[in-house]
Chain A
Amino acid sequence: MIVVADNETGGLVTIWITIIAGMVLAVVPMPQFVPVELGFLRPDWVAMVLVYWIIALPHRVGILTAWLAGIAVDVLLGSLIGQHALSYVLIAYVAASLYQRLRMFSVWQQAAVLFALLGLNQLAGFWIESIAGLAGWSFWYLLPALSGAFLWPWVFLMLRSLRRWIGMT
């Protein structure tokens, strides 16, 4: 790939490619031998990718990107339009206001913050579903936040090496 330092569109394309990769991971079907219950462990990949880019490049990725990605995820998963959009906007807002502090954290400290953020994400999604009368609360809802927090170091390192390789600032 050509190094596209200071190239706005090139950077934007890369960012959206990673977000779309997150969407693919969000809908990829599990093979049949995997028990169904493991599906509760599937982290919200799109939210994690969004949080990374907001911490790394807050001037490029913000609430609007999060909202657009949320609408796309709503269509992909067949949830109410606006459900993921709202929860992504919420966590994008929190991440954007904390990014300077988050950059100083070690990767596992970040993972702890991620657990709170992804928990908020799940909770906001649950609020919408319960207002629409679609769901009842169970602590299973927090499992994706837990698995997401555990996977955060790898997502973080991968996306950071990608960003450095492309030379985005």
Chain B
Amino acid sequence: MLGLGVLSLVLGFVDHTTSWLDGSRSALTVALTPIVVTADLPNRSVRGIQGIFSSREDLRRRVTGLESELIFLRVKTEKMAALISENNRLRGLLGSAAKLQDNVLVAELMGVNPDPEEQEVVIDKGSEDSVFVGQPVLDSRGLVGQVVEVSPFSSRVLLISDERHSVPVQVLRSNLRFIAQGTGIGQQLELQHVHSTADIKVGDQLLSSGLGNRFPVGYPVGVVDKVAFKPGKPFAEVLAKPNAQLDRFRHVLLVFTESRVAEETNTSSGKGDDRGG
């Protein structure tokens, strides 16, 4: 008993301080995937049964709705393309690097961390789909979180509402920069160190600022829904509601930014040079 207990403590210590156990963890995750899939079966079958019993009329209505939405979004995208090229031309005039389009990969939700204190989800794409630790994750409305653990066929995503997570943000209206930290339960973000004279009010849109080089610039993060200046406190209490539907998304987008690809090619060519030298 003592031996196994000490072994567990040592393993815990090694896992906490080093990344030596990551390989065995991802191998075990693959071996245990059937358990996660089985646990998701009730959810999956409920959706399947709903699919079987939805009537022809319902489906037709949905298809028409989706088609009109598609046309609407296409028009918007065309406008966006023009705007992007104009933006890049102007950035060229200013001498700054052109913004590149991000590539995305769609992933489906596989499981949720049962501990309500830990806002984590498991998605069905892993290192086989070149998902990497630290990769930003979005849904159709805004930033969801980042990948914290990768195994070959699944990965774990830490949501922005987790207490351990912070994201650098910028207020769209006033360009003020803050850090938005998760608050745990309740799907809220708290802005850190907001000065009581800061220009921020309820309804302000927060975008990712791109500082910290983790999240790409300009994705919606949240909307400010409470600003409280307390006399005697050095900072104001500002809460924001995430744009992403953190408690009900089924599909998420994994973002591959071009700069990272460029970095990778740089490093790999560097390695090649080393080998050549």
Within the assembled complex, what's the spacing in Å between the Cα atoms of A77 and B29? 10
Q: Is A51 an interface residue (CB 8 A)?
A: no
Within the assembled complex, what's the spacing in Å between the Cα atoms of A133 and B48? 42
Q: How many inter-chain contacts with C-beta < 8 Å in the A-B complex?
A: 104
Contacts of B11 in A (CB 8 A): 81-82, 85
Nearest CB of B to A110, in Å: 22
Contacts of B29 in A (CB 8 A): 75
Q: Is B149 an interface residue (CB 8 A)?
A: yes
Give the A interface residue count (CB, 8 A).
40
Judge whether B12 and A83 touch: CB under 8 Å.
yes
Within the assembled complex, what's the spacing in Å between the Cα atoms of A90 and B5? 8
Q: Is B100 an interface residue (CB 8 A)?
A: no
Contacts of B248 in A (CB 8 A): 32
- Proximity bits, B234-272, A CB within 8 Å = 1, else 0: 000000000000011000000000000000000000000
Nearest CB of A to B115, in Å: 7
Known: A24-B35, A42-B114. A80 touches B16 (CB 8 A): yes
Judge whether A82 and B39 touch: CB under 8 Å.
no
Contacts of A63 in B (CB 8 A): 1, 4
Within the assembled complex, what's the spacing in Å between the Cα atoms of A39 and B117? 9
Judge whether A78 and B120 touch: CB under 8 Å.
yes
Known: A27-B36, A29-B43, A86-B12. A64 touches B28 (CB 8 A): no
Contacts of A128 in B (CB 8 A): 9, 12
Within the assembled complex, what's the spacing in Å between the Cα atoms of A77 and B248? 20
Within the assembled complex, what's the spacing in Å between the Cα atoms of A33 and B36? 21
9-residue interface stretch from A4-12, A66-74, A157-165: A66-74
Residue on A with the closest CB to B120? A78
Within the assembled complex, what's the spacing in Å between the Cα atoms of A78 and B162? 14
Nearest CB of B to A132, in Å: 5
- Proximity bits, A69-113, B CB within 8 Å = 1, else 0: 011100111101111011001101100000000000000000000
Known: A28-B42, A31-B43, A82-B10. A67 touches B116 (CB 8 A): no
Contacts of B111 in A (CB 8 A): 27, 29
Contacts of A72 in B (CB 8 A): 28, 32
Within the assembled complex, what's the spacing in Å between the Cα atoms of A85 and B42? 28
Within the assembled complex, what's the spacing in Å between the Cα atoms of A42 and B113? 12
Within the assembled complex, what's the spacing in Å between the Cα atoms of A85 and B25? 14
Nearest CB of A to B149, in Å: 6
Within the assembled complex, what's the spacing in Å between the Cα atoms of A141 and B243? 30
Q: Is B185 an interface residue (CB 8 A)?
A: yes
Known: A24-B38, A28-B42. A80 touches B12 (CB 8 A): yes
Contacts of A132 in B (CB 8 A): 12, 16
Contacts of B4 in A (CB 8 A): 63-64, 67, 85, 89
Within the assembled complex, what's the spacing in Å between the Cα atoms of A63 and B12? 18
Contacts of B117 in A (CB 8 A): 135
Partner of B35, one of A20, A86, A90: A20
Judge whether B12 and A29 touch: CB under 8 Å.
no
Judge whether B116 and A27 touch: CB under 8 Å.
no
Task: Give the most central of B4, B14, B43, B118: most A CB within 10 Å.
Answer: B4
Contacts of B24 in A (CB 8 A): 81
Q: Is A13 an interface residue (CB 8 A)?
A: no
Q: Is B8 an interface residue (CB 8 A)?
A: yes
Task: Give the most central of A40, A75, A134: most B CB within 10 Å.
Answer: A75
Additional 15 contacts, C-beta under 8 A, given A77-B113, A92-B1, A93-B1: A23-B32, A28-B42, A29-B111, A29-B114, A36-B247, A40-B116, A67-B8, A75-B25, A75-B32, A77-B114, A80-B15, A82-B13, A83-B8, A86-B5, A132-B12
Q: Show 24 A/B contacts (Cβ-Cβ < 8 Å), sorted by A.
A: A23-B35, A24-B38, A25-B39, A27-B35, A27-B111, A28-B39, A28-B114, A29-B114, A30-B112, A37-B116, A64-B4, A67-B4, A75-B25, A75-B28, A77-B113, A78-B118, A80-B16, A81-B14, A81-B21, A82-B12, A82-B13, A85-B8, A86-B9, A89-B5
